[in-house]
Amino acid sequence: MTINNTLSKVIENTGIKRITAHGLRHTHATILLNNRVSIATVAKRLGNTAEEINRMYDHSDEDADQQAVHTFSSVVNS
């Protein structure tokens, strides 16, 4: 039985939202990075290099940057 099959059974039995093992891994890394866990720590947990983590999860910084632009614009335009 693959990890995705096992995960599917757990999801089916618990009623949680469907997610793949890859999606769970991505969510795990994103949550850690968004909560200021170091890139080195996340890389070690996932078995990647810091450069790979930067490349794969760079969108997190883009999302935060867009939020910063929106927040700044809201304050300036008030």
Please write the tens of the pLDDT for every residue from 18-72: 888 888 899 999 899 989 899 999 999 999 999 999 888 877 667 778 888 989 9
Domain residue limits, the chain: 3-76
* Residue 71: predicted pLDDT: 92
Q: Compute CA distances 46 → 22, 37, 58, 73, whole Å.
A: 11, 13, 16, 37
* Residue 78: predicted pLDDT: 82
* Residue 60: predicted pLDDT: 61
pTM of model > 0.75: no
* Residue 42: predicted pLDDT: 96
Rg, C-alpha atoms of the chain = 17
